[in-house]
Chain A
Amino acid sequence: MISLRGISKAFPGVVANDGIDLDIHQSEIHAILGENGAGKSTLMKILYGFYRADSGRIFLDGRPFSVHSPNDALAAHIGMVFQDFTLIPAFSVAENIGLFLRDLSPVISLKDVGRRIQEISSRYTLAVDPGARVSELSIGEQQKVEILKLLISDARLLILDEPTRVLAPHEVEALLGTLASLRADGYAIVLITHKLREVLGCADRITVLRHGRVSGSLLRKDADETRLLKLMFGKELPRLEFGGRAPVEANLPALELRGVSTTAEGAETALKNVDLRIYPGEIVGVAGVSGSGQRELADLILGIKACASGSKFMFGEQVTRDSVRSLRDRGVCFVPENPLVMASVPFMSVLENMALTRTRRYARLGGLRFDWHAVNEDFLQSSSALGFSLPTHALARSLSGGNLQRMVIVRETAHLPRLMIASYLTRGLDAQSTIAARSALLRARENGAGVLLISEDLEELFTVSDRIVVLRGGCIVASSKPDETDVFRVGHLMTGSEQQDAASA
């Protein structure tokens, strides 16, 4: 049905696609597999007209097909669901879908649109209320709206970019079921993902991308986990050795939350009556569906969000009302998911970024001068302890994602923190950087810090944590050791579905 030949695309500083050939057939689920940064999204965005290829050609039903904008793609019955959704929160479901309808009448009738929505949604179990405002829907429901949007606008090829990233295990199953029925009806589906298990579960054909090139394309029957891993990484994925260490519970907890609740503003999730203890030398993993309160929990501990009720203690001392600065002085540090956006100042150098957490310590003459020498020393000490090497005077924004995260870790661990909050810290990182980040966590634990690890990657949580708590709707619904439970039980706890077992202690 659709063929891509020799597609290449480069952005300043990086080649995203390099001479890619790809075939997409009707009634088939074609998975494009690769780790983060392999070029999968870019390729599909070119097909959808969002980007323009530097070179290469596309053929539709055998004839050359040029696409200059999403308009052309929509006219050719190609639809795409982006990772961050192209929905307008302030609009209703019907308005959002109406926006993408190619045959919307000049004078719109939302009732008409609503009717068409009901028709299709009942066919594929994608029920949703047309009049609801999108900002009030859950992420799973929003995804349904996105898929409906494609179906109603007569797309025959559906491209889904990392659709299961934000879903819990059984929601993933529901989605894959929907995709199977769509395939049976003749739709062509392209699934962009980096999750091996799902690919093996539902795809008919798999194309693996690595560093912008096709490293292999095979049918489902010829594929297995090892082969795919080899194609994705070119070598065996290194296994990280995790030395377990029994945390000494006799000490005062590095962090204790007692009955903490927060108020939700806007799209936030309120925390309700949270009790949590993190002891020095233990890694506590927090599992939960996106939007269960993880960000709020991290912000609360860091001091950005205030406790509406309840109290916070560090090593037995009350810190409920402390500012971010005073909490950091007490030894709290924070490694977030998107270092460029959340933890560093892009146009400042690595050295300047290094100084940001301890400006008072480095200031001299009451603030009139600044001791950059001391900053440099601390920087060198910390980075050599971690085995990293970073250019001190490079601007933060010129660093790759992995290096940027390394810089943040160097800074945060520079003064032997006593409590580390790691929030989705490996999201979007390449394999090497992911390993580096995880070892930094372990190292912090060895040095006696208590670590809170928030992650959407259940595998990561199970391998790294000493204890896992499940966060749902702002409450902690379960807490157990990794070897006492399994991924599916935790997955059900995360979404609160019927098969939930009695939560283990």
Chain B
Amino acid sequence: MTLLSVLGVLSSAVFSGTSLLYTTLGEICGQRSGIVNLGLEGVLLVSASAGFAVTVLTGSPYMGVLVAALVGGLMNMILGYLTITRGANQLASGLALMFFGFGLSAWIGRAYVGARIIGLPRFALPGLSELPILYRSLFQFDLLIYLSVPVAILVWWVLFRTRWGLGVRAVGESADTAFASGRNPRLIRYQALFVGGLLAGLGAAHLSIAYAMNWTEYMTAGRGFIAVALVIFSKWHPIRAIAGALLFSGAVAFQLLLQSSGIQVSPFLLDTIPYLVTIVVLVAWGGTRRHSAPASLGRVYQGSE
């Protein structure tokens, strides 16, 4: 187990974890305002396919990223319309959105299966260019990866240090109280969902444009649900989500590490660890009553007459 292999694991975790982090940050925004999005998988797929298609058509990965983010925001608006304006059940709406995403992404991406793109350029930060080639190649990250931690900090700052963020959290705790304070809970939820969708779209963009650099059906492989688990695991806190994303996506990389030490563990079993750990952690914290879920999560806001 050399330094190189350890760094390799870290590097690989960072690569695969970035899209997870963005997605999780987006879901944190949504859940903090009280809305659960079970259709994240669908949102990710549509954003990934759209971003990829635009990249192929325009040749510019940056355009692709932009479009993916916007598409993510729009997909979330569908969930918003159903749950906020029509007052529909959040779980059912989310799942419907998921199926929609399955279909729409397949439709958008059908002409682009097997297409190749340049992808987001990777570069090392200036200070690291003196490292030997092997090491340097591990730290060639793309723009989205470099921005991921700053974005997480930004999300934290917005939620906890701005007036808007206070309102979002208030709506998630008690929409009636937020209303009594002169706010419009419905509008705030829409806003939080849109921002959340933008972030999820960035996550999807990283997956299809920067990491895998292709498009296949169902390529998100459950990231939408991993993100939901990760939101819980990081207690709805953006900064904790950073560590969580690394941990969760480290599973595969961890397997490589074990392999290089001669231990063979099935990658499938390793992939189950994030979920099982989250359940264990939930129980260890004393259950759902104690952990800091927004108090109004999942409830339909009826408004007052």
A interface list, Cβ under 8 A from B: 11, 50-52, 69-71, 74, 80, 82, 86-91, 95, 98-100, 102, 104-108, 265-266
Which residues of chain B come closer than 8 Å to A87, judged between CB atoms?
177
Report A-chain residues with C-beta under 8 Å of the C-beta of B179. 50, 69-70
**Residues of the A chain whose Cβ atoms lie less than 8 Å from the Cβ of B161:** 107-108
Task: Known A-B contacts: A95-B166, A99-B166, A108-B163. Give 16 more (CB < 8 A).
Answer: A11-B305, A50-B304, A52-B305, A69-B179, A74-B181, A86-B174, A88-B295, A89-B173, A90-B292, A91-B169, A99-B167, A99-B181, A100-B182, A104-B163, A104-B166, A105-B163
Chain A minimum-CB-distance residue to B286? A265
Q: Are B164 and A106 in contact (CB under 8 A)?
A: yes
Docked Cα-Cα span, A86 to B162, in Å, equals 21
Chain B residues with Cβ below 8 Å from A86 are 174, 176-177, 180-181
* Nearest 3 pairs of A and B residues by beta carbon: A71-B182, A86-B177, A88-B173
Q: Is the CB of B174 within 8 A of A107?
A: no
* B86: interface (CB < 8 Å): no
B interface residues (Cβ-Cβ under 8 A, vs A): 161-164, 166-167, 169-170, 173-174, 176-184, 289-290, 292, 295, 304-305
Closest-CB distance, B235 to chain A (whole angstroms): 12
Contact in complex: B164, A98 (CB < 8 Å): no
B166 near A70 with CB under 8 A, answer no
A360 to B226 Cα, complex, angstroms? 45
Pairs across A and B, CB under 8 Å, 30 listed: A11-B305, A50-B180, A69-B182, A69-B184, A70-B179, A70-B180, A71-B182, A71-B183, A74-B181, A82-B180, A86-B174, A86-B176, A86-B177, A88-B170, A88-B177, A88-B295, A90-B292, A90-B295, A99-B170, A99-B178, A99-B181, A100-B181, A100-B182, A102-B182, A104-B163, A105-B163, A108-B161, A108-B162, A108-B166, A266-B289
- Specify which chain A residues have a CB less than 8 angstroms from the CB of B295 in the assembled complex: 88-90
CB distance from B162 to the nearest CB of A (A): 6
A90 touches B173 (CB 8 A): yes
* Smallest CB separation, A317 vs chain B (Å): 34
- How distant is the Cα of A87 from the Cα of B178 in the complex, in angstroms? 9
Contact of B163 among A80, A90, A107 (CB under 8 A): A107
- Give the distance to chain A from B292, nearest Cβ to Cβ, in Å: 7
B169's nearest neighbour on chain A, judged by CB, is A91
Chain A residue at minimal CB-CB distance from B183: A71
Q: Which residue on chain B has the smallest CB distance to residue A106? A: B163
With CB as the reference atom, state the residue of chain B lying closest to A48: B180
Which residues of the partner chain B approach A95 to less than 8 Å between Cβ atoms? 166
CB-based contact A70/B181 at 8 Å? yes
Distance in angstroms from A197 CB to nearest chain B CB is: 30
Determine the distance from Cα of A99 to Cα of B304 in the docked complex, in whole angstroms. Answer: 19
Q: How far is the CA of A71 from the CA of B182 in the complex (A)?
A: 4
Chain A residues closer than 8 Å to B170, beta-carbon distance: 88, 91, 99
Question: Which of chain B's residues have a CB closer than 8 A to the CB of A88?
Answer: 170, 173-174, 177, 295
For A107, list chain B residues within 8 Å (CB): 161-163
**C-alpha gap A120/B291 in the complex (Å):** 34
> Of the candidates B181, B289, B305, which one forms a contact with A51 in the assembled complex, judged by CB atoms under 8 Å apart?
B305
Kindly report which residue of chain A lies nearest to residue B180, judged by CB atoms.
A86
Expressed in whole angstroms, the Cα–Cα distance for A105 and B178 within the complex equals: 17
CB-based nearest B residue for A82: B180
Residue of B nearest to A52 (CB): B305
User: Which residue on A lies nearest to B173, using beta carbons?
Assistant: A88
Whose C-beta in chain B lies nearest to the C-beta of A102? B182
**Complex contacts, A80 vs chain B, CB 8 Å:** 180
Say yes or no: A70-B182 contact (C-beta < 8 A), given A52-B305, A104-B163, A106-B162.
yes
A86 to B181, CA, bound (A): 9
B177 to chain A, nearest CB (A): 4
Inside 8 A of B162's CB, which chain A residues have their CB? 106-108
Minimum CB–CB distance from A64 to chain B (whole Å) comes to: 21
Bound-complex Cα distance A50 to B180 (A):
7
CB neighbours (8 Å) of B292 from chain A are: 90
Which residues of B lie under 8 Å from residue A106 when comparing CB positions? 162-164
CB atoms of A265 and B289 under 8 A apart:
yes
Query: Which of chain B's residues has its CB closest to A50's CB?
Result: B304
Chain B nearest CB, measured from A416 CB (Å): 38
Q: Which residues in A have their C-beta under 8 angstroms from that of B183?
A: 71
A190 to B304, CA, bound (A): 22
Docked Cα-Cα span, A82 to B180, in Å, equals 10
Whether A51 contacts B304 in the complex (CB less than 8 A), given A74-B182, A90-B173, comes out as yes
Q: Within 8 Å CB of B163, what residues of A? A: 104-108
Chain A residue numbers with a CB within 8 Å of B164 are 106
Rounded to whole angstroms, the CA-CA distance of A244 and B177 in the bound complex is 47
Cβ–Cβ < 8 Å partners of B169 in chain A:
91
Which A residues touch B305, using CB under 8 A?
Answer: 11, 51-52
Q: What is the chain A residue whose CB lies nearest that of B287?
A: A265
User: Which chain B residues border A265 with CB–CB below 8 Å?
Assistant: 289
CB distance from B199 to the nearest CB of A (A): 21
In the complex, residue of chain A having the shortest beta-carbon distance to the beta carbon of B164: A106
> How distant is the Cα of A478 from the Cα of B290 in the complex, in angstroms?
34
Smallest beta-carbon distance A157→chain B, Å:
15
Given the complex of chains A and B, what is the CA–CA distance between A142 and B181 in angstroms?
Answer: 17
A112 to chain B, nearest CB (A): 12
A203 to nearest B CB, angstroms?
25
- Bound state CA distance, A50 and B170, in angstroms? 17
Query: Which of B164, B166, B180 is the most central at the interface, judged by chain A CB atoms within 10 Å of its CB?
Result: B180
**Chain A residues positioned under 8 Å from B290 (CB to CB):** 266
A102 to B167, CA, bound (A): 12
Query: A51-B304, A106-B163, A107-B163 known; A91 and B180 CB under 8 Å?
Result: no
A91 to B162, CA, bound (A): 14
Residues of B within 8 A of A52 (CB): 305
Q: Which residue of A lies closest to B170 (CB)?
A: A99
User: Given A51-B305, A88-B174, A90-B292, do A98 and B182 touch, yes or no (CB 8 Å)?
Assistant: no
Provide the bound-state CA to CA distance between A57 and B94, in Å: 44
Cα of A88 to Cα of B290 in the assembled complex, Å = 15
A106 to B167, CA, bound (A): 11
CA distance in complex: A108, B295 (Å): 22
* Cα of A99 to Cα of B174 in the assembled complex, Å: 12
User: Within the assembled complex, what's the spacing in Å between the Cα atoms of A108 and B177?
Assistant: 19
Q: With CB as the reference atom, state the residue of chain A lying closest to B178.
A: A99
Q: A90 to B178, alpha carbons, bound, how many Å?
A: 14
Chain A residue at minimal CB-CB distance from B158: A107
B181 partner residues in chain A, CB cutoff 8 A? 70, 74, 86, 99-100
A91, B184: Cα distance in complex, Å: 19
Q: Enumerate chain B residues within 8 angstroms of A50, measured Cβ to Cβ.
A: 179-180, 304
* Cβ–Cβ < 8 Å partners of B182 in chain A: 69-71, 74, 100, 102
Contacts of B166 in A (CB 8 A): 95, 98-99, 104, 108
Closest residue of B by beta carbon distance from A100: B181
Give the most central of A50, A90, A265: most B CB within 10 Å. A90
A350 to chain B, nearest CB (A): 27
CA distance A88 to B180 in the complex (A): 12
Q: Which residues of B contact A91 (CB under 8 A)?
A: 169-170, 173
Taken together as a complex, chains A and B put the C-alpha atoms of A211 and B161 apart, in Å, by: 47
Q: Tell me the complex Cα distance, A106–B177, Å.
A: 19
- Nearest chain B CB to A9 CB, angstrom units: 9
A52–B304 Cα distance when bound, in Å, is 9
